[in-house]
Amino acid sequence: MTLKEAIIKSLEDIGGLTNYSEVLNHVVAQKYFDFGAGKTPGSTVSASLGDFIRNGDTRVKRIKQDGGTYSYYLAKNEQNIGIDILIGATETTIATVVKVDKTKTYNERDLHKLLSSYLKSTGIYSN
């Protein structure tokens, strides 16, 4: 069994929201995959879960939690999780648009010093 198959099987067994460390513990406890002498199996599982999302694999979904962590679940178990958790979590992931004031944030005299120093470094002198 490959690592990705083991992750899918673990998410299926867990059946709800979980983080990468719980997936790792389940994979190791059920002996779905042998990490051998790997020094960072947690990072490997986390990266593989991220690959599912980045590659557009529709079997695995994630929700951003407080503290910048993610919870993962299988798409087929979505109805078992509860709409309140999914809606509450997705509201926190919506990015707020911040308007940037496009007023002038510099003075031309400041830019003149920068331009003059650049020209001097290339062997051209200016006033």
Q: Considering the entire predicted model, what is its pTM?
A: 0.64
- How does DSSP classify residue 32? S
- CA angle 42/43/49 to nearest 5° reads 90
Q: Which residue has the tokens 């020094």?
A: 39
Please write the tens of the pLDDT for every residue from 91-100: 444 445 656 5
Model confidence over 21-74: pLDDT tens digits?
999 999 999 999 999 888 999 999 999 999 998 998 888 988 888 888 888 989
Which domains are present in the chain?
A: 3-93 (1.10.10.10)
Burial class for 77, CB neighbours closer than 10 Å (0-12, 13-18, 19+): middle
